[in-house]
Structures are given as C-alpha cells and as structure tokens.
Chains A and B, each alone.
Chain A
C-alpha cells in the first residue's frame, strides 16, 4: 500500500460521504414526503432502528440480505402507517405521537433484536467503481452501496414527481392547505397517512443499510441519533428532495473529517472536529435564515410553521 499522507483527508471525506450518507438520505427523503403532506414524523429514529433490527434478523435467518431490506421496508411501512393513523384522530399532536413512535420503535427493536447481536448476517454487496485505479485506497473508497444509488435516483424522481405529476400536486396541496384540498374533494387524512407510511418505508430501508452494509452489524448503539439528524436535514434541505442528497453527502463527509485528521497526526481539538457536521449545519442555517420572512419552502400545514 502506498503512503498517501495528506491525501488521506479528502479521500476520507469522499469515502465518508459515500459510506455514511445513505441512511441520512433515505430517512430525509422519507421525512420529506411526510412533511410535504403536512405532517411531521419525529418517530423516524425509532423506525430506523426497527428497520436495522428486522433487516439484520431476516438477512441472518434467510441468508439473503435483499429479503432483509424488504423486511425492513415492511417494518418501516407498518410503523409509518401506525403514526399516520394515530395522527388522524382528532386533537392528536403529531410531534408528541412521533416521540412516542420513536421510543416504541427503539424499544421493540431492542426487545426482538436481543438474539441477533452476536450472529453475523450476510451483507449487501457493493458496486466497485474503483477498478481503474491501482491504489487500494481509491478502490476502497469507490465501493458504491447500491442503496445510495437507489436513494439518489429516487431523490430526482421525487423532485420531478412533486412538480409534474397529479399525485405530487395533491400531496403538496394537502400539505399547504388542507381546506383547499378538502374543497377540491381530496381525502386529506388518507393522503397524509399514505405519505407517512411511505416515509416510514424509506426510513426502514435506511435502517437496513446501517445493519446490512455500513457499519454492517446490529447493536443497540447502531443509530445513535442519525434518524433525528435526518429529520433536521429536511429543514436544512428546504423540503427539496434533491437538496436532501447534497445535505446527506455533506453530512456524511463532514463526519469523516475528525477521524481522518487524527489519522494524519492533526490531533488537537478532535472533539471539535467531531462536532463538525453540527457546526456546519448551524453555520449554514444562520447564513440562510432571514428575520424578515419565514422558512422558504415550508409546507403551510406543518405544525412547526403554523
């Protein structure tokens, strides 16, 4: 292996962006759909953990990691629909229910996940794009996870669909003005429930990525708040699916800065570098905000902007 020295830092940032960003991307896309319809699902953290557990368990039991992804998607869909249905009840606050779902999902995953902490499940394959290079480091960095590709394609598809398709417009209308949607004869609660279900499904797949690809192991500390961060990323991305891709890549890359700098010998202030993704978010939020208007792009029915 050749000595790459300082090149290790940009390489690690690129690698981090490729390896770490997928769960952020999938969860934030899911939340994007949910919030576009006017609901917030803070429970995605719990759904992510539940997806990670069920994906790992099914992959281990069946021997096929893609069946695991399917199981994670189903678990996510079920929890998402549960959240959506509960929020349809009158005078129910979606943020409070979301926190409930978060605790329920993590608790359920820990309870059922107990026997799967130790066994090794088959992992998802990766797409090696680095064969052109003879550097093993570059080859290692350019192992592209298929779920990342799916996520990126999905982001562009969603962006297009929100603008150009009938159901995209319906979702946006339900999210911007429930009264207008009702006047047009669209079932507001059904649309919102389905959107929350779709959000849960994507978050479940995001969980399967954590347990079946990277870091590729089921344990209770696996998510450590990534689901919550992804919810925040949606606001950061201004409810635009394509911006979610950039936000997720930025977040994944920034998280790799701390370890990478330590590995080349820049060792002072590593706690500060560990906080890099959050500092970056704060900085961009401050730079992008304005006292004279509300958040641009926020769906009108969201309980945080209403």
Chain B
C-alpha cells in the first residue's frame, strides 16, 4: 500500500510539472506578437563573446546592428556545434520571433543550420564561413566570409621588415584550407620584402588549447623567432606570452593591441559589420538574401589593426602601399610561379587566382618558406 501511494505522489508531481511547463510557454507568445513590427535577429556564438578573438569579432558587429532602427538583437553564447544549436535556433524563432539568424561558428552549418532551415523556410540563416552551394543548400540559408588573407599578407610585410632574426612563427589550430591560406599569405607577405625570411609553423590540434598555445609560443621564441602570429580562436594567451618574452606579435580576429602595448605590430581583423548590415537591410526590405557573400579589404569585410608603436616607419609605408593596391581591386596574392615547400609548382607561371576564385578555398599546400607540414 505504501508503494501505491508513493507512485500516486509521483504522478501528482509529474502532472504539476507538466502544467507549469505549459504555462511557461504562454509568456513566450507575447514577444512574438510584439515583434511583428520589428526585425528580430538572433546571433549565436560558439564561445564567450569577449574572448579577444573569433567570437568577439562577431559580437562587435552584432553590437553595431543592434543600433539600427527597427532591429532587436538577441544573443546566445557558448552554444556547442551539436543538437544544442538546433534547439537554440528553434527557441529563438518560436519564442522570440527571430526571422534572421546569424549562426556564427563553422561547424553549425552542416547539418544543424540546414535541418532547421528546412523546417522554417521563412526564416533567413546567414552562416559564417560555410561554402553555400546553389541547388544543394536551401535558398533561405547563405554564407558570408572575408578574405582575411589580405590582412595576413600585410601583417607578413610588416613582420618581414621588423624581424631581425628572419624567423617568424605561426601557431595554427588545424590544417584546414582557411588556415593554410592565412599561413601562406603571411609568409608570402614577409618574403615579398625579404626572401630570406622563413615561417616556423606549429599546429596545436584544436581551436582553443591555452596551455599548448603558450608552450608553442615559448618554444618558437626559444628557437629565435621574433615575430609571432596565430590562427586559433582566442589569441589572448599567445599575444600575452609573446609580450612577456619581449618579441613582436601580430594579432588575429580582433585587436589584441591592449594586451601587448610593446610588441603589437598590427593585426588581421574581421569587420563583420559590412555583411551583417547587408543581410539586415535585405531582410528589412524583403529582398531575397545574398546567399554567397564574400569580400576583402576593398569591400570592407576585413581590416588591419592600427599600427603598434614598435612597427617602423618604413614597414608602415611599405604595407600601406600594398594595401592601396589591394583596395583598388584585382590584386592577386596567389599567382604563378608559386612553389610549395616541397619544391612542387602549385601555380604555374602566368596564371593568377583572384581572391574570389573558389580554388583558393580548397587550398592544401604550404608555400615555399614555411617550415612545417600539413
């Protein structure tokens, strides 16, 4: 008998829980009704939005579009690239009435964004970095990305003119095309001003491994590297380690100048405001979304950090000259003759890849001058 009453008690608890659950959804309907006049935008980050890196760059753009008239921005941080992101997107759409979503991490796209996009055909999904393909992916999804290798090339120019040991260091997370393109552009920029410069490359294996990143920086500096840069999610640890050891550093994603007042040369930064604004305007006016949004320095998708005080006048002038050519348009970083670091020709003499060339988004080599292997 005692058991029966306990089961009954549990049932009662369950029933009560269900009832409160049902009630809880009702307040969710209210903002939806209010949202009709305003465009509600959801921004989803994979990490904390003040990480001095990838997420901060996205959050800075979100902060700008928040100020646009008729716009409400809701944000959620630290959403894993799993089922979690599907739930977050669904709740932003159902509860807050979001009609434009920026899922900002690379791993969100396939399958999570694609699956949710099929379920909600009227909601727009602007994803960062994915290769959107016409016919293969839904029309209410799209990708935006920037040609940040242009800034990396400029970083390389400054680094090459600053380095005394002629050894640069690059700490990278994983050998994927975007990362290789940055490593190559940085190295080519440096070798354009001094062909004797080499780049030592260390892969840490993942996007955020603070201890390993600090170890990598220290061992590079022990080897005589005097300019360090990186492609990891949060460059904070690397920039601080370089500053502590008294070498120069180029930033990435966002500006880390305040972390290294002595050694910060310049940096490659995203300027996501441009693609964000374009997507918001299209959504507001009801135009179809631009599914494949790309741009570099000229289009304002990327920018360089203001020069730090340790960069020389000559280096600034040289980099500014190249930057001028890039912003004019038609500047090709990757052009023949180009050899990889095993001596094989990867781009033949006379041919050049414009920045928009999709071939560059499939890069699988390291150029001559990089000491490292994929």
In the assembled complex, the CB of A9 is this many whole angstroms from the nearest CB of chain B, namely 9
Assuming the contacts A110-B78, A215-B241, A262-B372, asked whether A15 and B222 have C-beta atoms less than 8 A apart, the reply is: yes
In the assembled complex, the CB of B344 is this many whole angstroms from the nearest CB of chain A, namely 16
A19 sits at the interface (CB 8 A): yes
In the assembled complex, the CB of A115 is this many whole angstroms from the nearest CB of chain B, namely 8
- Chain B residue numbers with a CB within 8 Å of A182 are none
Cβ-defined contact, B51 with A255, below 8 A: no
Cβ-defined contact, B209 with A224, below 8 A: yes
Cβ-defined contact, A215 with B210, below 8 A: yes
Cβ-defined contact, A12 with B219, below 8 A: yes
- Chain B residue numbers with a CB within 8 Å of A270 are 202-203, 205, 373
Which of B209, B216, B222, B259 is within 8 Å of A8, CB to CB?
A: B222
Interchain CA distance A220-B209 in the complex, whole Å:
10
Interchain CA distance A274-B223 in the complex, whole Å:
19
Cβ-defined contact, A15 with B218, below 8 A: yes
Please choose the segment from B128-136, B232-240, B280-288 that sits at the chain A interface, where 4 or more of its residues have CB less than 8 A away: B232-240
Interface residues of B in 214-253 (CB under 8 A from A): 214-216, 218-226, 234, 236-237, 240-241, 245
Interchain CA distance A270-B372 in the complex, whole Å:
10
- Chain A residue numbers with a CB within 8 Å of B372 are 262, 265, 267
Cβ-defined contact, B48 with A219, below 8 A: yes
A140 sits at the interface (CB 8 A): yes
- Which single residue of chain A is at the shortest CB-CB distance from B167? A3
Cβ-defined contact, B48 with A114, below 8 A: yes
Cβ-defined contact, B222 with A118, below 8 A: no
- Chain B residue numbers with a CB within 8 Å of A150 are none
- Chain A residue numbers with a CB within 8 Å of B219 are 8, 12, 15, 256, 259-260, 263
Cβ-defined contact, B237 with A265, below 8 A: no
- Chain A residue numbers with a CB within 8 Å of B240 are 120, 215-217
Cβ-defined contact, A262 with B222, below 8 A: no
B293 sits at the interface (CB 8 A): no
Cβ-defined contact, B224 with A274, below 8 A: no
Q: Quick one: CB contact mask for B184-219 with A, threshold 8 Å, 1 for yes? A: 000000000000000011111100111111111011
Assuming the contacts A217-B236, A220-B47, asked whether A255 and B221 have C-beta atoms less than 8 A apart, the reply is: no
In the assembled complex, the CB of A44 is this many whole angstroms from the nearest CB of chain B, namely 17
Interface residues of A in 1-58 (CB under 8 A from B): 1-5, 8, 11-12, 15-16, 19-20
Cβ-defined contact, B202 with A262, below 8 A: yes
Cβ-defined contact, B215 with A11, below 8 A: no
Interchain CA distance A164-B160 in the complex, whole Å:
62
Cβ-defined contact, A268 with B237, below 8 A: no
Q: Quick one: CB contact mask for A254-276 with B, threshold 8 Å, 1 for yes? A: 01101110111101101100100
Cβ-defined contact, A221 with B223, below 8 A: no
Q: Quick one: CB contact mask for A113-156 with B, threshold 8 Å, 1 for yes? A: 01001101000000000000000010011000000000000000
Interchain CA distance A105-B221 in the complex, whole Å:
35
Lowest 4 CB-CB distances: which A-B pairs, in order?
A267-B373, A215-B214, A221-B208, A259-B216
Q: Given A1-B224, A219-B51, A268-B373, 19 more contacts at CB 8 Å?
A: A15-B219, A15-B222, A20-B215, A120-B240, A140-B221, A140-B245, A210-B211, A215-B241, A217-B236, A221-B210, A221-B234, A259-B216, A262-B372, A263-B216, A264-B223, A267-B371, A267-B373, A270-B205, A270-B373
* A-B contacts, 29 listed (Cβ < 8 Å): A1-B165, A2-B224, A4-B224, A12-B215, A12-B219, A15-B218, A110-B78, A114-B48, A118-B50, A214-B211, A214-B214, A215-B214, A215-B240, A221-B210, A226-B211, A255-B211, A255-B212, A256-B215, A259-B215, A259-B219, A262-B202, A263-B169, A263-B219, A265-B371, A265-B372, A267-B372, A268-B373, A274-B204, A274-B212
Give chain B's interface residues, CB within 8 Å of chain A. Answer: 47-48, 50-52, 78, 165, 169, 200-205, 208-216, 218-226, 234, 236-237, 240-241, 245, 259, 371-373
Give chain A's interface residues, CB within 8 Å of chain B. Answer: 1-5, 8, 11-12, 15-16, 19-20, 110, 114, 117-118, 120, 137, 140-141, 210, 214-217, 219-222, 224, 226, 255-256, 258-260, 262-265, 267-268, 270-271, 274
